[in-house]
Structure 1
């Protein structure tokens, strides 16, 4: 009966956090173990007693400060220096700028919104199809859940009880592979459609663009470098990145006004609280998973089908592609990790880092696939393009993601080499 209540509330579009609490409360009532009612609040607060969770609002604040401080356009100009002269140069600029942004924002939806406003009009003005321009921008947003710092990696690391810094390191090679596959897609489409030829900046223009972007590039270097060299934890790196973003936007670029900080703090708090509440609700829902022995039962079912770790990951990928179509990626991570991770580690000896990279990238695909597809609809709204036109141009990028998922599932070293 609890499963029916859970599915019914999901179908009725009840927020996922509320669904988790309702299902847990129903289960307590149905099981007769009503003494657990007294512990619900304690359990929810207990689920938040993790230092790593502080990184979520701090990375969100970094993105807000960066957007307000004028760093986006400077990063785009910096990308123009490296790839602007190729045929289809603006498409490559879009991709490279998305890589820079992924190493700062950590949120795919925020990145898609920012980059759609910046890149789609520019690409359309140079003669690119608007659907392709929006699709390239939306696909670039998929780099955010993989290239550190990733919001999904933070949440997964907390749920899996593994070091978030090492989880970030696991995402670097997969992120570069994903970006490379997108570049190949752009190249192939450019050959077919004869994209406009770009123009290289003069030496003086290139030096100026790089000089202007250098302060903004301090942010990803401070995050990744601080973690890689053991100088700071991910949470401390997020705090440092927020401070750098504020000082650069205010003192160097002069576009960030201290009087706007209050509004940015409010937006950050509102957005972060939704994620934090989902994690708290998942702690309560964990009772259902524990008492019903869901991982053990599911493990028995799957191991009866295959004992091969690669086939197990393919089955998981296929299932999560469907899950990602109907449930938001962060919500799905919170739901799926406690169930599938014990099976992956206990029955198939799969590294939690490899498993985390695979499921985070897989569930990020749900941002661009109907019926939920929030990233798809954000790109559509920001670029004034129909979702259908974007999807028509998006499918080669989605195929590239699927290929990378297969590679990451078959070769653990791609996720584990830097750890």
Structure 2
């Protein structure tokens, strides 16, 4: 009980989740007198990251850094503008499309929001869109980041649940596209009511130029997915190949990536990867304590008391995940909840790949909601919009996100059909 109270108190005081997990584990051992557990702590820490699939995380982080520095991200946004910019509300569609392109690079909602808040929000305001709407659309569109591969949450879920990361990557494609299409429909409705501006139609020479320039950038996610789908390489191997391609394209095709940029790129990659790795290791310790105290079994019994069917279980899980996502970072929540909820989901006959997509969607939506939504605060800070105004402008997109989430929840074929059809 003391450990549990301390856990929530530390969270309320804003202590980083990794420190909370490690500290509460040590205090549990001290207060219960199980000092023999200290002998196993180093081995538990090591086991937390002793998995080949986790190598994909630093590789995909490196891909994102290389593509941002190498001018690839900029060209993807410019290409989106050429395709969608001339229709009414065109720049709003560009926002969604660019986020979908960036999702195939970064795999992180927070990283996408940071990039787009600095680039497209000021441009939308110049063309007559309200800053509130532009910021809200940027935050909402970032939800596709963890769905369209590559995806850090999918890698972590795959490791924790012991399921195919390649299948998870493929399963996220249709939900990611579905979110993009539904947000585009919402833009269409709002554009009629608010009479959004049109951008000038680009000349054919500009269209051809921007299309030609973006082809090497588009080749990177294409090669990743084709290679995985055809079984040429695993998701982890695809990350290394993508990093090599991103370096070659940025350095020798676009010539914006300089060798002097590499130390900073590698430093950012190491810091981000080390943060995730540390979180995984200490969460493994905390999960060990939960298992020792049979907490997962107690939670399972509680859920079984309220949910006697798969339909009710999924509804309850959606609610739990959304509430947790409001207070915890997506990766941290994923690491904490998967070991608890995954075995229960299997008892209800839920497809493990489908369940991974559901967890990711719920926790990503949580990033856009107060009181601790990371995406919400990043967008507010970088786009210079007050939180209350941002939340108000975000409401229509949140409603649409919930509609899509429940559609995916109760139509599992939207996630499982594609990899069953191609037989990964």
Fold shared, TM-score > 0.5 on shorter chain: yes
- The equivalences for 1:319-338 within 5 A come to 319-338=320-339
Name 2:408's counterpart in structure 1. Answer: 408
Q: How far does residue 338 in structure 1 lie from its aligned partner after superposition?
A: 0.6
1:105-152 per-position Cα deviation (integer Å, ceiling 9, x unaligned)? 111111111111110111111100011111111111111011111111
Q: How far does residue 71 in structure 1 lie from its aligned partner after superposition?
A: 1.4
Name 2:378's counterpart in structure 1. Answer: 378
Give the Cα–Cα distance (whole angstroms) in 1 for the partners of residues 339 and 351 of structure 2: 15
Name 1:31's counterpart in structure 2. Answer: 32
- The equivalences for 1:158-237 within 5 A come to 158-237=159-238
Give the Cα–Cα distance (whole angstroms) in 2 for the partners of residues 14 and 42 of structure 1: 25
- Which 4+ residue blocks in structure 1 deviate beyond 6 angstroms? none
Give the Cα–Cα distance (whole angstroms) in 2 for the partners of residues 27 and 351 of structure 1: 35
Give the Cα–Cα distance (whole angstroms) in 2 for the partners of residues 391 and 13 of structure 1: 22
Give the Cα–Cα distance (whole angstroms) in 2 for the partners of residues 45 and 314 of structure 1: 36
- The equivalences for 1:223-262 within 5 A come to 223-262=224-263
Tell me if the contact between 2:68 and 2:74 (Cα under 8 Å) persists in the aligned partners: no
Name 2:6's counterpart in structure 1. Answer: 5
- 1:97 equivalent to 2:98? Answer yes
Name the Cα RMSD after superposition. Answer: 1.3
Q: Which runs of 5+ in 1 are unaligned?
A: none
Name 2:131's counterpart in structure 1. Answer: 130
- The equivalences for 1:20-169 within 5 A come to 20-169=21-170
Give the Cα–Cα distance (whole angstroms) in 2 for the partners of residues 223 and 36 of structure 1: 43
Tell me if the contact between 2:287 and 2:336 (Cα under 8 Å) persists in the aligned partners: no
Tell me if the contact between 2:148 and 2:172 (Cα under 8 Å) persists in the aligned partners: yes
What is the SS of the residue equivalent to 1:417? Answer: helix
Give the Cα–Cα distance (whole angstroms) in 2 for the partners of residues 70 and 218 of structure 1: 14
Q: TM-score if structure 1 supplies the norm length?
A: 0.97
Q: How far does residue 32 in structure 1 lie from its aligned partner after superposition?
A: 2.9
Question: Please, which moves more after superposition, 315-324 or 260-269?
Answer: 315-324
Q: How far does residue 170 in structure 1 lie from its aligned partner after superposition?
A: 1.2
What is the SS of the residue equivalent to 1:199? Answer: coil
Q: How far does residue 389 in structure 1 lie from its aligned partner after superposition?
A: 2.3
- 1:356 equivalent to 2:374? Answer no
Tell me if the contact between 2:307 and 2:316 (Cα under 8 Å) persists in the aligned partners: no
Give the Cα–Cα distance (whole angstroms) in 1 for the partners of residues 302 and 121 of structure 2: 47
- 1:342 equivalent to 2:340? Answer no
Question: Please, which moves more after superposition, 290-299 or 187-196?
Answer: 290-299
- 1:396 equivalent to 2:392? Answer no
Q: How far does residue 22 in structure 1 lie from its aligned partner after superposition?
A: 1.8
Aligned residues: 418
Q: How far does residue 342 in structure 1 lie from its aligned partner after superposition?
A: 0.8
What is the SS of the residue equivalent to 1:304? Answer: helix
Tell me if the contact between 2:224 and 2:242 (Cα under 8 Å) persists in the aligned partners: yes
Q: How far does residue 387 in structure 1 lie from its aligned partner after superposition?
A: 2.1
Give the Cα–Cα distance (whole angstroms) in 1 for the partners of residues 344 and 215 of structure 2: 45
Q: How far does residue 413 in structure 1 lie from its aligned partner after superposition?
A: 0.9
1:222-247 per-position Cα deviation (integer Å, ceiling 9, x unaligned)? 22222111111111111111111111
1:307-326 per-position Cα deviation (integer Å, ceiling 9, x unaligned)? 22122111111122221111
What is the SS of the residue equivalent to 1:248? Answer: helix
Question: Please, which moves more after superposition, 52-61 or 73-82?
Answer: 73-82
Q: How far does residue 26 in structure 1 lie from its aligned partner after superposition?
A: 2.4
What is the SS of the residue equivalent to 2:263? Answer: helix
Name 2:366's counterpart in structure 1. Answer: 366
Give the Cα–Cα distance (whole angstroms) in 1 for the partners of residues 388 and 334 of structure 2: 27
Q: How far does residue 200 in structure 1 lie from its aligned partner after superposition?
A: 2.9
